[in-house]
Amino acid sequence: MIKPAEYQRRRRQLMRHAGDDSILIISAAPERVRSHDTHFPYRQDSDLWYLSGFNEPEAVLVLVPGRAAGEALLFCRERHPEREMWDGARLGPEGAVEQLGLDDAFDIADIDDILPGLMEGRNRVYYHFGRDPDFDLRLMGWLNRVRAKVRLGAHPPHEFLQLGHLLNEMRLFKSRDEIRLMRRAAEIAGEAHERAMRATRPGLHEYAIEAELLYGFRRHGAVPAYEPIVGGGSNACVLHYRANQAPLQDGDLLLIDAGAEWQGYASDITRSFPVNGRFSAAQRALYQVVLEAQQAAIDAARPGHSWEAPHAAAVEVLTEGLLAHGLLKGTLKRCIANGDYKRFYMHRTGHWLGLDVHDVGDYKIDGSPRLLEAGMVLTVEPGLYIAPDAKVAAKWRGIGIRIEDDVLVTGKGNEVLSPHAPKEVDEIEALMAG
Ligand code: GLY
Ligand code: MN
Ligand code: MN
């Protein structure tokens, strides 16, 4: 759990960066209709969650740095016994102040009356302009209410800034409590991967293995951080495969990319293993290349190294392996410089991880790749994908392999947050034989 004091610290830090003449406006994620009158599971906006821990729709957090009568304000739904009987409990403004350490809270129904007055006299508005067209319009309406009173001496804001500019940089560096939650998200997902591995055998369908993953998440109270990818055989070569419908064939590999979300924080883990529990010689050869590439990339994820270093390390080992096995021809240098390896490795080696699976945070600073620093969390996920119609020896065709772990950069090096599910060949074969 993130404690109210940490949310408070985050809000203070954000307000300090924004300055006393600003106002910051962060809206809750809307509920989304799945069909007719049923909704998708509710997922709070990551920024509102990061700054408050408030988990209801129809809410707006407003930060007004330096305001004597209170800086951190929440607009949210009033308590409503009848609605709560249908839809579940609401915190209500009083509850929000008590439980989330906010300075004040109001009924969301009153926001049109109150918010223009809070904007008045402030120079700058920080907000996610362009993310939600409906909310953009409401914001313009509040602004115009202030502008309409200029002749009465009102001072409307005149600078409009992207909130992400300040907030993303804060979110990139994880606190001790965030790391604890991310370790747990990875632990739950790792256990679910292991469960899925044990359950796999020829003749089952991909969805039956997906069910093992979902069971593994939900039994601990977690949810999927994204739709699991469960791809047997050449389905593993479809990078965003989500159909999960095909039967699993004896002799194929199975690629599973599945992460759990725990208290808002994502894990993102991929394992690839043989459906029948034994790697073929060709599968083992390429698997070993990907595993070595991943280790080289993890070793390169150190403070002071470029964010690109893990990718460069992975590309080098993968390309060496492709040359050694005759999938590429030429010299290592030329195959890397020409990008020949992209025939079989067409994505990057990782991304920031946090409240979002592809988490916020700049990858470049002034046009150059940024350096890794303690507290950043990134995935390391090299792979090799040999399309079923690739012009290579038949034994390689249709093999798709990715190995993905979540890595925290520490002061001295790094910590793999997701060591639970096995990935060594011998470990996988032993587990599946058991
Ligand atoms: N599961 C999405 C990714 O690996 O980036
Ligand atoms: Mn993934
Ligand atoms: Mn990933």
* In a shared domain, residues 290 and 306: yes
Question: Strands 104-107, 72-76: parallel, antiparallel or unpaired by DSSP?
Answer: parallel
First-to-final CA distance of the chain: 36
| Spatial separation of the C-alpha atoms in residues 33 and 51, rounded to whole Å | 26
Q: In this predicted structure, what is the pLDDT of residue 411?
A: 98
pLDDT for position 54: 98
Residue 281: closest CA among 218, 229, 237, 325: 325
Q: Considering 358, 373, 424, 427, which one is annotated as catalytic?
A: 358
Q: Is 268 a catalytic residue?
A: yes
Check whether residue 27 and residue 131 sit in a common domain. Answer: yes
Q: How many CB atoms lie within 10 A of CB 358?
A: 12
For residues 179 and 327, membership in a common domain is answered with yes
Same domain, 186 and 244: yes
Looking at the fold, whether 324 and 391 belong to one and the same domain comes out as: yes
State which of 136, 170, 204 marks the end of a domain: 170
> Residues 6 or more apart from 206 whose CB is under 8 A from it?
230, 231, 232, 235, 243, 244, 245, 246, 247, 248, 254
Amino acid identity of 169?
E
Instruction: Divide the 434 residues of the chain into consecutive groups of 10 and give the mean pLDDT of each group.
Output: 95 98 97 96 98 98 97 98 95 96 97 98 97 95 96 96 97 98 98 98 98 98 98 97 97 98 98 98 98 98 98 98 98 98 98 98 96 98 98 98 99 98 98 94
Evaluate: CB of 226 within 6 angstroms of ligand 1: yes
Q: Which of 271, 357, 377, 378 to mutate to test the pocket of ligand 1 (most atoms within 8 A of CB)?
A: 357
The pLDDT assigned to 249 comes to 98
Domain that holds residue 187: 173-433
User: Would residue 169 show up in a list of annotated catalytic residues for this protein?
Assistant: no
For the chain, what is the domain count? 2
Q: Which ligand 1 atom minimizes the distance to the CA of 259?
A: 1
Mutating to test ligand 1, I would choose from 193, 213, 346, 351 the residue with most ligand atoms within 8 A of its C-beta, which is: 351
At a CB cut-off of 8 Å and minimum separation 6, what does 429 contact? 274, 277, 278, 279
pLDDT at site 422? 97
Name the nearest CA neighbour of 52 among 106, 97, 116: 97
pTM tops 0.75: yes
Structure tokens belonging to residue 338: 């020409």
Q: Are residues 158 and 80 in the same domain?
A: yes
What is the C-alpha separation between 400 and 385, in angstroms, rounded?
A: 4
Measure 312 CA to ligand 3 centroid, in angstroms: 17
132 lies in the same domain as 250: no
pLDDT of residue 434: 86
Axis-axis angle for helices 425-433, 176-199 (nearest 10): 60
- Could you tell me if the CB of 187 is within 6 A of ligand 1? no
CB of 405 closer than 6 angstroms to any ligand 1 atom: no
Residue 316: both structure tokens together? 């080098």
- State if residue 268 touches ligand 1 by the CB under 6 angstroms criterion: yes
Of the candidates 149, 170, 191, which is a domain's last residue? 170
Cβ–ligand 1 distance for 356 under 6 Å, the answer no
Atom of ligand 1 nearest to the CA of 226: 1
Measured in Å, residue 416 CA sits from the centre of ligand 2 at 15
Indicate if 236 and 289 belong to the same structural domain.
yes
Looking up residue 105, the CATH number of its domain turns out to be: 3.40.350.10
Q: Which atom of ligand 1 is nearest to the CA of 404?
A: 4
Residues 122 and 109 in one domain: yes
Q: What is the whole-number distance in angstroms between the Cα of residue 293 and the centre of ligand 1?
A: 17
Rounded to whole angstroms, the Cα distance separating 47 from 382 reads 29
Domain at 237, CATH number: 3.90.230.10
Task: Indicate the top mutation candidate among 226, 230, 241 to test ligand 1's pocket, ranked by most ligand atoms within 8 A of CB.
Answer: 226
Q: Are residues 330 and 424 in the same domain?
A: yes
Which residues have a beta carbon within 5 Å of ligand 3, which is an ion? 268, 379
Domain boundary among 148, 170, 192: 170
Residue 405 corresponds to which tokens in the numbers above? Answer: 């772990």
State residue 129's pLDDT score.
94
Task: Report the distance separating Cα 339 and Cα 402, nearest Å.
Answer: 19
What sign does the dihedral 330-334-340-345 (CA atoms) show?
A: positive
Contacts for 331 with CB less than 8 Å, ≥ 6 apart = none
List 206, 268, 359, 406, catalytic entry: 268
Whether 358 is catalytic is yes
Q: What are the tokens at 148?
A: 């309409």
Q: Are residues 156 and 180 in the same domain?
A: no
Single-letter amino acid code for the residue at 376: M
Q: Are residues 149 and 186 in the same domain?
A: no
Distance CA 80, CA 274 (A): 54
Q: CA quadruple 365, 371, 375, 377: dihedral positive or negative?
A: positive
